[in-house]
Amino acid sequence: MESYLLDWANLLVRWLHLIAGIAWIGSSFYFVWLDNHLTAPVRPADRERGVHGELWSVHGGGFYHSQKFLTGPRGEPLTEDLHWFKWEAYATWLSGMGMLAIVYWFGATTYLIDRSVMPLTVPAAIGISIATILLGWVVYDRLCRLLRNRDTLLAAVLFVFVVAVSWALFQVFSPRAAFLHVGAMLGTLMVANVAMVIIPGQRRVVAQIRAGQPPDPEPGRQGKLRSSHNTYFTLPVLFIMISNHYPFTYSHRFGWLVLAVVMLAGVFVRQFFVLRHKGISKPWLPLAACALLAAAGAALAPAPLPPRAASVALPAGTDPMAALQPIIERHCVACHAAQPTQAGFAQPPKGVMLQTREQQRQHAAKISETVASRYMPIGNLTGMTDDERAVVAAWYAALPR
């Protein structure tokens, strides 16, 4: 019953996370687009009121006139009816942390710890998980302050920092958990930018305007910088969110490098669209992103089992199906059964059952892929050996096509 209730909690929190994330990312992308499409105000009266830029648009059966004031309107009070874009970010982060707790902390022995990587205790693994997320913000914020007004250098240093964290996590956690924690750290940087820099800076400016004081432009500059960081973090975070469905990415022995390549491709794509919104076209950016992703795809392609290895794994006269059965029983059926016996599973993952030979043939391609990539068994809890993996590969190679 506990596993069943955790599955429901996982589903509902994941649903909330998706909805909140769409709202946050959608508003973030919209305001980046809006900023880059503003034009100088046409009416002299608007310029005198302090309008920095404006945009007319049409949507949903009506017309909209957006105006941007850098430091509020001149000669009139600032409205009390301000909408603050913050709860989308906070709800996304809180629901994401809820998912992290449900899946990776409650299920630490299954999803967080891989004893072939590092034999951690559950408290130690959870402690490292929390410390990574918190210290990531401390280092990032410090770098932003040290390298203020040196944006290009800061971007390069931040990329190296994130790649270094990714490499370090792959030396500690299971590959899937390492990937996820890079995303959790980046998501925390994004929401902390909102909560610790952008919103407080806006509150200071609002207070100064309402007190009749000349507003300090620095909070606005820092808020815009952190907001631009968030837009570049977005694509890598989204990739990490969906990557758990594609174990060939993170289960590679150089998974941290795969993530670095994908993150760089995401940055190139986002940079292309940011510049495009400003009327600047640099087609080499998406081409470079495609080249990076193509190179990653080629590097991750599974290698066929050499004939000699196949003959060693399955000597002549051996029935491949019979050789497979003890391996499936030992390493797979505890989870992939109508009634799993593995703690933490109320039903077979993704509905895949491997109790009969027919079921094994049905899922043969996925069995071969996930065993070869070392994604399965999860965290290698059952200690599958390389010889057993070779038997699985030879069995799959012997199946009629």
Cα atoms in the 13 Å half-sphere on the side-chain side of 73: 10
pLDDT of 186 reads 95
What is residue 349's DSSP assignment?
G
Q: Which of 300, 325, 342 is the last residue of a domain?
A: 300
Please enumerate in sequence order all residues whose Cβ is within 8 A of that of 5, keeping only pairs 6 or more positions apart, or say none.
none
Domain boundary among 261, 285, 300: 300
Could you tell me if 258 and 375 lie in one domain? Answer: no
35 inside domain: no
Q: Is residue 68 part of a domain?
A: no
DSSP secondary structure of 139-152: HHHHHHHHTTT-HH
Residue 311: its pLDDT value, please? 58
373 and 279 in a common domain: no
Helix (H) or strand (E) holding 87: helix 87-99
> Would residue 27 count as lying in a domain?
no
The pLDDT tens digits for 308-326 are: 555 566 677 777 788 888 8
Q: Are residues 222 and 311 in the same domain?
A: no
> What's residue 129's pLDDT?
96
Residues 108, 249 within the same domain: yes
**Residue-level pLDDT at 254:** 86
Q: 141-199: per-residue pLDDT in tens?
A: 999 999 988 888 999 999 999 999 999 999 999 888 999 999 999 999 999 999 999 99
383 and 336 assigned to the same domain? yes
| Judgement on whether residues 114 and 210 belong to the same structural domain of the protein | yes
- Do 146 and 277 sit in the same domain of this protein? yes
Using CB atoms within 10 A of its CB, is residue 90 exposed (0-12), middle (13-18) or buried (19+)? Answer: middle
Domain encompassing residue 332 = 307-398
pLDDT number for residue 192: 96
Is 9 inside a domain boundary? no
For every one of its 401 residues, what pLDDT tens digit does the chain have, with 9 covering 90 and above?
566 787 788 889 999 999 999 999 998 888 888 888 899 999 998 888 889 999 999 998 899 999 998 888 888 888 888 888 889 999 999 999 999 999 899 888 888 988 888 999 999 999 999 999 999 999 999 999 999 888 889 999 999 999 999 999 999 998 889 999 999 999 999 999 999 999 999 999 888 888 888 888 888 888 888 888 998 899 899 999 888 888 788 887 788 999 999 999 998 998 898 888 778 889 999 999 999 999 988 888 766 656 555 556 667 777 778 888 888 888 888 888 888 888 777 778 878 888 888 888 888 888 888 888 777 887 777 888 888 888 888 888 877 76
pLDDT at 208: 87
Structural domain count, the chain: 2
Asked, for residue 16, whether it belongs to a domain, the answer is no
Full-model pTM: 0.81
The answer as to whether 320 is a domain residue is yes
How many angstroms separate the CA atoms of 127 and 105, rounded?
10
